[in-house]
Amino acid sequence: MKDLAPWLEADLARLTAQRGHAWLVTGTAGLGQFELAMAMAASALCEAKLYKACGQCDGCHMVRAKSHPDLSVLLPETLSLELGFPLDEKTQSELDDKKRKPSKQIKLEAVQDLISFVQRTSSRGKGLVVVIYPAEAMNHIAANALLKSLEEPAGHTRFVLATEDSAALLPTIRSRCQSFVLTPPETKLAVAWLASEGVTLTDASVWLKAAGGQPQTALAMSRAMTKTSAWQDFPKLIAKGALPSELPTALTETPAALVGALQKLCHDAICVSQGAEPKFFDAMASNPNAASLYKLTTWSKALNVQARSSEHTLNAGLMIEALLAQAKQAMASK
């Protein structure tokens, strides 16, 4: 098990010291909800009886190997494949035979298997633990099927639901859990952590700002774009009407990635137009030719609508071109 990020250590100590059979760990993306949920599960199943998993006992070894009989980690199929968690035999066979693509949702069938799991007796005597991430990936049918088990689990069962969008969860799910909200760490701590992951101190500050203070997102951006100039030059390239080939691949790989970057750009453009400091792009602070507030707010509303369909577009290339054309027009000076 990888060491827990330093800003999560105190959270783990607080959570494991409290009683409760169902927790909802929430917060903005890039703070480590899943890692904290897994650390809570490992601590609960550790056979050394410490607040934090020892990493040495049989229970910890099985959690690390993703084979603990008393732990169920419920993920979308796409994320299970990405993180190396095993799928059930039927699902794996269907994917291997290319009968369908892996799902980005947590479906009813998976929740039904989970309900069967929580009705079993603990194999190692530490109870059963369920981790669900991201919890908002459960569709409404799956979420409703979970309600009874979540409210009245059989035996000594603990649930840890982790999410980056708690508002997307059913109110009936939220009401059955104790909520724990993660907050971004102090800049100094986040920069030090990024440096420990191989990012230079200068670059770490830039990427942390680009990620809105979210350390894990900052690390992912640093690895995807390598040079900070690739991010800092983004506003100028958009304003001059850059083609997709002129932009960092990480920002044009999918419409969703581009929409996310444009939303940050739009946010900063609105700030600058009103005399406020930009949040994500340092270079925009000196922009003397801010676009009109009306154009920018209209653009912001359009991006919010496009964000809802960016994962399901029929023609990704065409949508990316349309997004760039729209952005150029919105960023044009008054």
pLDDT (tens digit, 9 = 90+) per residue, 107-165?
Answer: 999 999 999 999 999 999 999 999 999 999 999 999 999 999 999 888 889 999 999 99
Say what the pLDDT of residue 289 is.
Answer: 61
Delimit the domains of the chain by residue range: 6-181, 188-331
Tell me what the mean pLDDT of segment 53-66 comes to. Answer: 94
Both tokens of 64, joined, read 């690390």
DSSP letters along 184-249, please?
PPPHHHHHHHHHHTT--HHHHHHHHHHTTT-HHHHHHHHHHH-STHHHHTHHHHHHTT--GGGS-H
Q: Residue 294's CB: how many other CB atoms inside 10 A? A: 10
Q: CA-to-CA distance for 214 and 232, rounded, in angstroms?
A: 18
Share the mean pLDDT of the chain: 92
Just give the CATH number of 6-181: 3.40.50.300
Per-residue pLDDT reduced to its tens digit, 168-223 = 999 999 999 999 999 999 999 999 999 999 999 999 999 999 999 999 999 999 99
Q: Could you tell me the two tokens for 58? A: 């049989």
- Averaged over 233-243, what is the pLDDT? 92
- Looking at residue 329, its pLDDT comes to 93
The answer to whether residues 256 and 311 touch, using CB atoms and an 8 Å cutoff, is: yes
User: What span, in angstroms and rounded, lies between the C-alpha atoms of 37 and 74?
Assistant: 12
Q: What is the mean pLDDT of residues 293-318?
A: 91
* pLDDT value of position 193: 96
* Statement: residue 333 has pLDDT above 80: no
Where residue 292 falls among pLDDT bands split at 50, 70, 90? Answer: confident
